[in-house]
Structure 1
Amino acid sequence: MKKLAVILFILSIFFELHATKFSGEALANLEFKIEMTPWDKVEELLPRNSNFTVIDVGTGKRFKVQRRAGSSHADVQPLTHHDTKIMKEIYGGEWSWMRRAVLIQSDNLLIAGSMHGMPHGAGAIQNGFPGHFCIHFKGSTTHKTQSPDLSHHLMILKAGGKLDSYLNGLAPKPLVDAFLAGIKNKDQDLIRRTITNRNADLKILNEIQAVKWQTSMVASKENSFIKEINADLKLHLNDKGPVSSRVSFTVVKTSPMAPWKVDESALIKLLKERKVVE
């Protein structure tokens, strides 16, 4: 009971501070703190057939899982029908590939991770979940690539309270990639952390069901505080279907020490024009 009370106390602080500029160091004086544990260590801490708790950062909901497989990340299954129900609630009642920031609680550990919510492949537990899903940790990769998935990487940083410091250190091109990853995952919190106007009306971004992109630098201007990044977008819009377009994003900073921020207005304008025309 004492261990559970301490964990609940930590989580209450975590969710309160995460809305501002939470840092994992904020918990250093407590018994537990959130760790950005690399995958090779996690694989030892959470071996196959081990059970642990997944805590969704966005909602605070938690459910139990069992690790079944996975060589570059953890392939896991909800432990019971009840756990499957909670997981589906986290995703709004529909399974999804969208990445979400999670904390993994096992014994006295809280480990930053990222999960998607799409059943796939095989599953061996009678839990109402048709397959397994994946949880990524620092340094994890997908089955198809040798480098970390960008969306998972950002969600791991978010779970660990290190997303702002990471974004603030990005150059213009990778910042636009992070902005587009936020759109891909319908994560308005991530989007707002990357843009010039954090209070912008972003409702029209909900028109985007899916997005793929390729970014490239435009020849540098004399003003060192303004950069242009081209993004070749392949969008799938609600009721409109596939749309391909090149959008030129302006990325700005207000001083030499200030972080870069993306001007989202070019994409907003494109979506509004498509909505009117079609």
Structure 2
Amino acid sequence: MIRPMRRLTLRWSLTVLLACGLAGAGEQQANAKRPADRPERLEMTVRASGTAAMFSSLKISSPRLASRIAAAERRPAERVDCYTDLEVSVWETDDRKTVYRLERTGRLWDEAASKLLWLPPDASERLLRYAEALRSRHYGKLMDWNEARSIVGRKSLFTIVDLESGLSFRVQRRAGSDHADVQPVSREDSATMKRIYGDKWSWERRAIVVAKDGARIAASMNGMPHGGDGIPDNGFKGHFCVHFLGSTSHRSDTPDPAHQLMVHKAGGDLRRYFDSASPAALASSFVEALNLKDGDMLSLIWTGASAEETAMLSRLLERLDSIYYARAGKLAQDDDGDKLSASVDLPVLVRLDGRGTLRAKLRFELARSSPQSPWRIVGLGSDHSSLIP
């Protein structure tokens, strides 16, 4: 895992109560037989990124499941395929716990010890059911713009929840046919939105959940007032854009890659999105993840990065102020055909350590095992040694 940034203080949480039907018929018997020193407290937590202040948690009181985790065989493992947004905490005592990652087959990964816990199939299946339920509550639903536009109709009011900070504010859709043009409802709403962007307006895309009438829809927003106004005295001169799955900008019939990346992040669907992405889309997503300093997202994009390449990226992220794709307009998409290898050159504008803007080019080498297999990054270089040595 590439984790260059310190986790922020938690500001918001959604606690999901354990449903009685999930607890299992054997819980009371297991509880009666439980030794006094056997751990029984578990908690599953989901975050959109490793630095997100917003999280959702599921508290699990299950002595039987905890005992199976405690008794599980631990095998050394170098690489595992884990959910990057999930953690499972098991308390040994009231003040001591072990934190695991959930592997996609339902095993638990002890990252500190580099060991994989081999659980019985029923325990693994149960953890995966909990994970699916928790992630569905945390993220928004991926909904095509043609459907979403009927829920957030013109002049409708709805709430935007930022998946990183957990802050929320109210908006009204004023216009827009290819996406939603919206405005904060009040000065307080505008102030909250500005806090989300570090107290300065920005074109940066952010993953959000749009909440209206019980619906929670995955979306993306930018944070720059522009264009027409319509709500007086709300402290926001103009409108900003909210994009949904498949929505486009006013000047293009192709979805904006950065907005679509954030839509899939808001839907908890990044892995599938990257597995179906073209080489050009993977490359542009990589640059966006670098700019966001999102180590979890980078790990999902460059799944085969070696320890040396991971260390190189961590050093780059420590020095990086910002990085952007240097060409305006849509990113050219590849006609992949049956090719098994590809190269993508991306011109970028980079700021390192507060210095001036550097123009450079990133070169991505990609490969796949068959025309039906996902593209994977197998090499990364640059024409500027201060960026990629």
Structure 2 residue 215 is the aligned partner of structure 1 residue 149: no
191, 206, 221: which one aligns with 1:115: 221
265, 269, 289: which one aligns with 1:158: 265
Structure 2 residue 322 is the aligned partner of structure 1 residue 208: yes
> Could you say which residue in structure 1 is the equivalent of 2:181?
75
CA-CA distance at 1:215 after TM superposition: 6.9
Percent identity between the two aligned chains: 32
> Could you say which residue in structure 2 is the equivalent of 1:55?
161
> Could you say which residue in structure 2 is the equivalent of 1:19?
85
> Could you say which residue in structure 1 is the equivalent of 2:386?
271
State the secondary structure of the residue aligned to 2:386.
Answer: helix
Question: TM-score scaled by structure 2?
Answer: 0.56
Change (3 A) 1:229 1:16: farther
Structure 2 runs not aligned, ≥5 long: 1-12, 17-44, 48-54, 58-83, 87-103, 105-127
CA-CA distance at 1:8 after TM superposition: 4.5
Change (3 A) 1:50 1:241: same
**1:70 maps to amino acid:** G
Higher share in helix: 1
> Could you say which residue in structure 2 is the equivalent of 1:247?
362
CA distance in 2 between counterparts of 1:232 and 1:33 reads: 31
CA deviations 1:42-65 (Å, max 9, x no partner) are: 221111111110001111111111
Larger radius of gyration: 2
Change (3 A) 1:129 1:85: same
CA distance in 2 between counterparts of 1:235 and 1:29 reads: 35
CA-CA distance at 1:246 after TM superposition: 3.7
CA distance in 2 between counterparts of 1:209 and 1:31 reads: 33
For this pair of structures, how many residues does the alignment match?
257
RMSD: 3.7
User: Does the aligned pair in 2 maintain the 1:251–1:263 contact within 8 Å?
Assistant: yes
> Could you say which residue in structure 2 is the equivalent of 1:4?
none
Structure 2 residue 285 is the aligned partner of structure 1 residue 178: yes
> Could you say which residue in structure 2 is the equivalent of 1:230?
344
Change (3 A) 1:30 1:190: closer
User: Does the aligned pair in 2 maintain the 1:73–1:136 contact within 8 Å?
Assistant: yes
Question: TM-score scaled by structure 1?
Answer: 0.76
Structure 1 runs not aligned, ≥5 long: 1-6
> Could you say which residue in structure 2 is the equivalent of 1:130?
237
User: Does the aligned pair in 2 maintain the 1:84–1:127 contact within 8 Å?
Assistant: yes
CA distance in 2 between counterparts of 1:235 and 1:173 reads: 17
Change (3 A) 1:240 1:231: same
Q: Which moved more, 1:48-57 or 1:32-41?
A: 32-41
Structure 2 residue 148 is the aligned partner of structure 1 residue 42: yes
Q: Which moved more, 1:35-44 or 1:102-111?
A: 35-44
CA-CA distance at 1:122 after TM superposition: 1.8
CA distance in 2 between counterparts of 1:267 and 1:16 reads: 39
CA-CA distance at 1:271 after TM superposition: 3.3
CA-CA distance at 1:251 after TM superposition: 3.0
**1:235 maps to amino acid:** L
User: Does the aligned pair in 1 maintain the 2:139–2:209 contact within 8 Å?
Assistant: no
State the secondary structure of the residue aligned to 2:191.
Answer: helix
CA distance in 1 between counterparts of 2:230 and 2:274 reads: 39
CA distance in 2 between counterparts of 1:120 and 1:92 reads: 18
State the secondary structure of the residue aligned to 1:158.
Answer: helix
State the secondary structure of the residue aligned to 2:247.
Answer: coil
182, 186, 205: which one aligns with 1:99: 205
CA deviations 1:110-165 (Å, max 9, x no partner) are: 01101000110122222111111010111211011001111111111111111111
CA distance in 2 between counterparts of 1:108 and 1:251 reads: 42
CA-CA distance at 1:192 after TM superposition: 3.6
CA deviations 1:98-119 (Å, max 9, x no partner) are: 1111001111100110100011
